[in-house]
């Protein structure tokens, strides 16, 4: 891939950049294969803006006379504007941005070129692996084993090579069970609750089809999960009706007659296109400066974003109730088991397990549930709310997760070891990043492209001492208790830090948060000295 | 952090094993009564709790409170309601009403909740309790004293001395060669709803003031509320001019406003009329109005804030969607239809305009109709934005004492202390709305206020409780007649005797900084911790108070150590401010100590 062929004009002088919260500045614009670089000419207080082209979601160009204006709407919701002299230059720049911002070729993306001097490529990519995770969880040894049935990705292309399954189930049974689950995503363990030995399992939908096929091995596998207990729960993230309809296309749900010790709940969660459209409406309402007071709350309500937040938190709450309060194991799935299932199992773990609430714990959780267990980031985060491109598989499921975590953080300001800033950073990185963490759609793809050898890992970078300090929550106090979120609409708030991030007010609040953080750290230091 | 009672689930609810310790013994023995508080009666009763259903227990009525405690071992419900918070007591059902718990009492409160009790139907069992409640909840309607006059509470600090008008003017730099302190109202004969001490233009004579008083509604002449130390621009407050249908003019009033303008050479005096334009016009019919073109060198701006009746209705609508059940399915649009946040927005943005004008050097005059509701909101909020002193714990008390209490916000009429007339059209949540605006500001500037949310909640609780004299009566002259200061305790006595409960650990004093909150709907929030605080499912989740107290202690220790370091080696102080910890790389770590070092410099 030659970037040069997309760059007809690499440098333009005398460009005016307008960006939120800052006065316009005049300077030189430069386009490279991955970046847009702007440096102003002020001698005293020189500023540079370096923007990943990947961050640009949509551009609009407007010509007037011999100059033009390019408006760039970014995936981090920032809106920038360039006034460029010279019609041809302007068109060239616009063309370069348009092409380079949405190149499909993963191996040409910036993480493969990002080589900061202070960071050498890691020997170990990521924080952990299924093997390490299993070996650290001694409680699992008695009843659970690590299976490498998927070592060549042949049983389930979207699973990692090693997964945790009941000890009594052999690999042949797993292979057969995998054939009965969409995409081969057979039930695997994702969380073990130390307090009572109950677990959360995750899978995709069973492939019953219209003629209600059954699969002995799948039944055996699930039976083994609740060995020694009277029952288990299945949380299906689709409505009963949706689950029934899925049978027409070969899917379905676990029927009572074959899985008689499993009790099923249906909780309809919005996904896919509907979720993306909700985000688009919300961002539109947030950016509407025109009639500031007119019907803002109605618009917020109409976007339905907060009801998706509510739904996710309350379904996660149900899951925690099953495991923690009711003392039973739970299987979670929807159809593919790569979106809502991950969302609620992640939230449930945060709610009940204090180990997931430290910064390492949280990043480890994200790595297990979203990277290893495979959320198709490449497809879901190809575009954000501004894009004019036709929607394909975009869906802001991960952003919804971060919003839900923020709600937890707001309701329990002491219980999480990390701060809002970390959530904001992740929300930005997931759409455009220097790091390889959110590249690709699965572990298999990552291996094929040597992501783990050729890119840096965001999670490891975030745990370097300076970054860790910056993203820690100074008020953090570990609690062993579950943090049950209130899910009434009155208890949920718009995540202003993200959605109104580029307003003066939110910037003030960010500064105040930072001030508080530094203050508390300072007191602690002097008190100890 | 108990789980809210099955809110997510469809699981059969498993009642936790009930603790069998008997709570029945001396159910009401744990109530600690206030000095001066007396038991009137107690009774077995059923509390119809909107959240956990009918709860059996015992109710105690004193001359100050209604206290209920459940007797069932598995549900613990306690209610502790000052009688002052009650606005209405009604009988529910009759002796022949059918259905469980249909006979009893319905109590409407001023603080966003209702209480419902059921009693046995036999033997007129509610008659005595109804009468006792009615009598002691509305003492003024029964010739009884308010509880504040019966209280024998003693505090280490006396709150009545927190605000001394002359001292406060001196703090602002007054008197000076443009403004003087006048005692013309010392026996309340210029204006019976104003305080005795007023600041007026130096050049105005006493007879001028009397002439102006004749042209201003209820004699509430323009007087100085606040002066900007550097640019000498002032905030003056007053009531509407008595223009009337015929469009009367008053040369003295015009000249008087000119004196205000001249005091700091403001080119154009800005008159903020808090009302919507149409209302101001309509007021002409009843003799009022607004300043016309005859006021040269002045501009008039309407701030579009609605009157007390609109605010009352808005709050009523708000209550309907939050109590007893919170609106679930269309919460945001329902909230929008109450217009409560929109009103908050208008008040705040009005105050921002006032503050902005003044900080750019222009003097302003603020009024509405009578100048005791919207005017008080605007001047006090603008002062809070402009003057960091009012953002301290004690400064905020001064602000309330000054702009609200001394300038005659009609607390007695707006709240209806001890008065049974619940439908009184004079009642309105104007002060609550002001505190809401303050809360919005504290949310937007988490380090700028020395006090915390608990102070605001405490103030609102005692706005109704009648335990303290602070918010009683409509104005100073009436307060003097009733000897409030000598016969009752001030709320600030309570607060200032236990300050650490009300302090914000993250407060960073920054004198001279003007705070402009954002008054856009996008940035305003409903104050859930106040308006929906009775709903156990929507409470703040984690108990942060303890942690904040620890932080406060940590901060104090920090400041102490810092002081010691500075004392032991004065030359290190500058070093300390620049790099408190040499090994930190982050540039911003030095800010907190920089901000603290100026604490040591005498102000």
Q: Which of residues 287-346 of B touch A (CB under 8 A)?
A: 322, 326-328, 330-333, 335-336, 341-342, 345
What was the pLDDT predicted at A293? 58
Say which of B191, B238, B368, B475 is annotated catalytic.
Answer: B368
User: Comparing C-alpha atoms, which of B249, B271, B254, B256 is closest to residue B182?
Assistant: B256
For the segment A289-327, what is each residue's pLDDT rounded down to a tens digit?
Answer: 765 557 899 999 999 999 999 999 999 999 999 999 999
Minimal Cα distance from B16: which residue of A? A325
Mutation to test the A interface, candidates B5, B528, B541, most A Cβ within 10 Å: B541
Element housing A270 (H / E): none
Q: Mind telling me how many Å the CA of A518 is from chain B's nearest CA?
A: 6
What was the pLDDT predicted at B407? 98
CA distance A207 to A204: 9
Question: Residue with structure tokens 């974003």?
Answer: A305
Angle at alpha carbon of residue A172, lines to A166 and A178, rounded to 5°:
75
Residue B238 annotated as catalytic: no
Q: Mind telling me how many Å the CA of A148 is from chain B's nearest CA?
A: 36
CA distance B286 to A33: 74
User: Could you say which of B7, B335, B445 has the minimum Cβ distance to residue A512?
Assistant: B445
From chain A, the residues in CB contact with B528 under 8 A are 490-491
- Check CB contact under 8 Å for A490 and B528: yes
Q: Mind telling me how many Å the CA of A305 is from chain B's nearest CA?
A: 12
pLDDT band for position A417 (cuts 50, 70, 90): very high
User: Comparing C-alpha atoms, which of A269, A268, A240, A267 is closest to residue A255?
Assistant: A240
User: Comparing C-alpha atoms, which of B156, B162, B161 is closest to residue B498?
Assistant: B156
Answer whether B227's CB lies under 8 Å from B173's CB. yes
What was the pLDDT predicted at B577? 40
Q: Residue B542, annotated ligand binder?
A: no
Element housing A105 (H / E): none
What was the pLDDT predicted at B124? 77
Mutation to test the B interface, candidates A490, A515, A525, most B Cβ within 10 Å: A490
**pLDDT at residue A178 tops 90:** yes
Through-space distance between the first and last CA atoms of chain A, rounded to whole angstroms: 56
Sequence-separated (6 or more) residues with CB below 8 Å from residue A311: A267, A268, A269, A270
**pLDDT at residue A209 tops 80:** yes
Answer whether B44's CB lies under 8 Å from B2's CB. no
What was the pLDDT predicted at A312? 97
The hierarchical CATH code for the domain B39-144 is: 2.30.29.30
Minimal Cα distance from B321: which residue of A? A490
Selected residue with higher pLDDT from B566 and B151: B151
Q: Mind telling me how many Å the CA of A134 is from chain B's nearest CA?
A: 30
Q: Residue B368, annotated ligand binder?
A: yes
CA distance B144 to A417: 56
User: Could you say which of A466, A486, A521 has the minimum Cβ distance to residue B4?
Assistant: A486
Q: Residue B42, annotated ligand binder?
A: no
From chain A, the residues in CB contact with B445 under 8 A are 508, 512
User: Could you say which of B327, B336, B539 has the minimum Cβ distance to residue A295?
Assistant: B336
Q: What average pLDDT score do residues A254-274 get?
A: 92
Cα–Cα distances in Å, from B256 out to B203, B204, B229, B253, B301? 9, 7, 22, 5, 19
What's the 3-state SS for A17-35?
EECCCCCCEEEEEEECCCE
- Check CB contact under 8 Å for A483 and B1: yes
From chain B, the residues in CB contact with A466 under 8 A are 585-586
Mutation to test the A interface, candidates B325, B522, B539, most A Cβ within 10 Å: B522
Q: What is the mean pLDDT of chain B?
A: 89
pLDDT band for position B7 (cuts 50, 70, 90): low
- A:B CB pairs within 8 Å: 176
From chain B, the residues in CB contact with A411 under 8 A are 540-542
CA distance A357 to A349: 9
- Check CB contact under 8 Å for B523 and A315: no
From chain B, the residues in CB contact with A469 under 8 A are 586
| B581 touching A (Cβ < 8 Å) | yes
What was the pLDDT predicted at B489? 97
**pLDDT at residue B537 tops 90:** no
What was the pLDDT predicted at A190? 94
Tokens matching residue B60: 């105690």
Mutation to test the B interface, candidates A491, A506, A509, most B Cβ within 10 Å: A491
- Check CB contact under 8 Å for B8 and A317: yes
| B446 touching A (Cβ < 8 Å) | yes
For the segment A35-64, what is each residue's pLDDT rounded down to a tens digit?
Answer: 999 998 776 677 889 999 999 999 999 998
pLDDT band for position B586 (cuts 50, 70, 90): very low
Q: Residue B371, annotated ligand binder?
A: yes
B302: helix, strand or coil: strand
Residue % of chain A over a pLDDT of 70: 98
For the segment B163-204, what is each residue's pLDDT rounded down to a tens digit?
Answer: 999 999 999 999 999 999 999 999 999 999 999 999 999 999
Tokens matching residue A300: 């917020």
From chain B, the residues in CB contact with A470 under 8 A are 586
Tell me what ipTM this predicted complex has: 0.92
- Check CB contact under 8 Å for B518 and A479: no
What was the pLDDT predicted at B27? 67
For the segment B27-72, what is each residue's pLDDT rounded down to a tens digit?
Answer: 677 788 999 999 999 999 999 999 888 999 999 999 999 999 998 8
What is the CB-side half-sphere exposure of residue A486 using CA atoms within 13 A?
Answer: 22
Specify the domain boundaries for CATH 2.30.29.30 within chain B.
39-144
pLDDT band for position B26 (cuts 50, 70, 90): low
């Amino acid at each position: 891939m030659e970037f040069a062929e997309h760059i007809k004009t690499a440098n333009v002088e005398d460009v005016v950049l307008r960006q939120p919260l800052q006065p316009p500045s005049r300077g030189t614009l430069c386009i490279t294969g991955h970046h847009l670089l702007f440096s102003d000419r002020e001698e005293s207080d020189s500023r540079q803006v370096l923007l990943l082209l990947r961050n640009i979601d949509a551009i609009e160009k407007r010509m007037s006379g011999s100059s033009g204006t390019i408006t760039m709407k970014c995936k981090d919701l920032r809106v920038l504007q360039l006034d460029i002299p010279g019609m041809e230059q302007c068109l060239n720049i616009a063309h370069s941005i348009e092409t380079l911002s949405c190149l499909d070729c993963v191996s040409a993306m910036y993480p493969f070129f990002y080589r900061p001097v202070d960071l050498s490529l890691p020997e170990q990519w990521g924080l952990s692996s299924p093997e390490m995770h299993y070996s650290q969880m001694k409680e699992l040894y008695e009843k659970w084993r690590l299976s490498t049935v998927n070592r060549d990705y042949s049983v389930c292309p979207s699973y990692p090579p090693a997964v945790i399954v009941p000890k009594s189930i052999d690999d042949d049974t797993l292979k057969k069970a995998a054939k009965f689950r969409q995409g081969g995503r057979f039930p695997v363990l994702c969380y073990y609750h130390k307090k009572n030995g109950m677990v959360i399992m995750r899978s995709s939908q069973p492939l019953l089809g219209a003629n209600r096929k059954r699969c002995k091995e799948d039944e055996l596998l699930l039976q083994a999960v609740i060995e020694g207990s009277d029952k288990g729960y299945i949380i299906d993230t689709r409505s009963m009706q949706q689950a029934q309809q899925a049978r027409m296309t070969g899917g379905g749900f676990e029927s009572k007659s074959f899985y008689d010790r499993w009790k099923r709940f249906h909780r309809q969660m919005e996904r896919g296109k509907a979720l993306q459209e909700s985000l688009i409406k919300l961002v539109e309402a947030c950016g509407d400066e025109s009639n500031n007071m007119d019907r803002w709350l109605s618009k917020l309500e109409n976007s339905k974003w907060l009801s998706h937040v509510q739904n996710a938190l309350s379904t996660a709450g149900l899951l925690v109730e099953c495991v923690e309060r009711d003392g039973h194991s739970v299987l979670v799935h929807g159809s593919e088991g790569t979106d809502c299932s991950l969302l609620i199992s992640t939230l449930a773990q945060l709610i009940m397990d204090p180990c997931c609430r430290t910064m390492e714990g949280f990043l480890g959780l994200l790595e297990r549930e979203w990277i290893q267990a495979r959320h198709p980031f490449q497809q879901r985060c190809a575009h954000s709310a501004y894009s004019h491109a036709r929607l394909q598989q975009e869906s802001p499921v991960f952003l919804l997760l971060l919003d839900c975590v923020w709600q937890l953080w707001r309701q329990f300001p002491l219980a999480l070891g990390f701060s809002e800033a970390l959530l904001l950073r992740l929300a930005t990185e997931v759409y455009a990043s220097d790091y390889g963490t959110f590249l690709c759609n699965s572990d298999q793809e990552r291996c094929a492209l040597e992501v783990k050898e050729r890119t840096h890992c965001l999670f490891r970078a975030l745990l370097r001492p300076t970054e860790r300090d910056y993203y820690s929550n100074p008020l953090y106090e570990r609690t062993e208790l579950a943090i049950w979120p209130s899910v009434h609409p009155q208890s949920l708030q718009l995540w202003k830090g993200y959605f109104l991030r580029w307003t003066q007010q939110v910037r003030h609040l960010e500064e105040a948060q930072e001030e508080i953080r530094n203050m508390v750290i300072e007191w602690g230091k002097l008190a100890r000295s | 952090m108990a789980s809210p009672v099955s809110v997510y689930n469809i699981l059969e609810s498993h009642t936790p094993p009930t603790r069998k310790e008997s709570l029945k013994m001396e159910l009401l023995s744990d109530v600690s009564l206030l000095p001066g508080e007396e038991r009137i009666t107690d009774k077995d009763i059923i509390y119809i709790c909107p959240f956990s259903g009918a709860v059996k227990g015992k109710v105690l009525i004193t001359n100050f409170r209604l206290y209920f405690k459940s007797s069932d071992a598995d549900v613990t419900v306690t209610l502790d309601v000052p009688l002052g918070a009650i606005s209405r007591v009604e009988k529910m059902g009759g002796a022949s009403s059918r259905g469980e718990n249909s006979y009893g009492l319905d109590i409407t409160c001023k603080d966003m909740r209702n209480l419902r009790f059921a009693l046995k139907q036999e033997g007129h069992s509610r008659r005595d309790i109804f009468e006792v409640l009615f009598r002691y909840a509305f003492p003024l309607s029964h010739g009884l004293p308010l509880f504040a006059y019966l209280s024998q509470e003693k505090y280490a600090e006396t709150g009545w001395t927190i605000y001394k008008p002359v001292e406060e003017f001196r703090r602002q730099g007054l008197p000076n060669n443009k403004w003087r302190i006048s005692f013309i109202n010392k026996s309340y004969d210029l204006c019976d709803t104003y305080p005795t001490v007023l600041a007026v233009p130096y050049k105005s004579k006493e007879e001028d003031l009397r002439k102006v008083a004749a042209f201003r509604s209820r004699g509430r002449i323009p007087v100085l509320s606040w002066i900007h130390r550097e640019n000498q621009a002032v905030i003056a407050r007053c009531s509407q001019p008595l223009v009337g249908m015929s469009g009367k003019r008053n040369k003295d009033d015009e000249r008087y406003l000119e004196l205000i303008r001249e005091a700091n050479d403001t080119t154009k005096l800005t008159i903020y009329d808090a009302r919507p334009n149409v209302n101001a016009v309509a007021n002409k019919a009843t003799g009022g109005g607004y300043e016309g073109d005859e006021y040269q060198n002045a501009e008039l701006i309407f701030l579009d804030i609605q009157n007390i009746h609109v605010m009352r209705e808005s709050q009523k609508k708000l209550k309907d969607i939050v109590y007893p059940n919170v609106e679930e399915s269309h919460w945001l649009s329902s909230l929008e239809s109450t217009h409560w946040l929109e009103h908050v927005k208008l008040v705040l943005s009005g105050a921002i305009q006032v503050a902005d004008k003044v900080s750019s050097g222009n003097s302003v005059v603020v009024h509405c109709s009578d100048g005791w509701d919207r005017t008080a909101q605007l001047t006090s909020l603008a002062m809070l934005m402009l003057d960091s002193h009012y953002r301290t714990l004690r400064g905020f008390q001064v602000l309330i004492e000054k702009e609200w209490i001394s300038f005659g916000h009609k607390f007695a009429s707006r709240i209806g202390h001890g008065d049974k007339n619940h439908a009184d059209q004079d009642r309105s949540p104007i002060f609550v709305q002001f505190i809401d605006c303050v809360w919005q500001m504290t949310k937007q500037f988490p380090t700028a206020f020395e006090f915390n949310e608990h102070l605001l909640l405490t103030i609102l609780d005692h706005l109704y409780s009648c335990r303290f004299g602070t918010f009683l009566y409509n104005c100073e002259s009436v307060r003097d007649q009733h000897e409030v200061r000598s016969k009752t305790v001030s709320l600030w006595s309570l607060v200032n005797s236990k300050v650490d409960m009300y302090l914000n650990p993250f407060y960073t004093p920054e004198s001279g900084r003007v705070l402009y909150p954002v008054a856009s709907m996008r940035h305003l929030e409903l104050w859930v911790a106040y308006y929906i605080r009775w709903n156990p499912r929507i409470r703040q989740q984690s108990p942060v108070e303890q942690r904040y107290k620890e932080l406060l202690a940590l901060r104090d220790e920090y400041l102490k150590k810092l002081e010691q370091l500075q004392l032991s080696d004065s030359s290190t102080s500058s070093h300390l401010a620049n790099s408190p910890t040499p090994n930190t790389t982050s540039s911003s770590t030095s800010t907190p100590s920089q901000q603290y070092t100026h604490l040591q410099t005498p102000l």
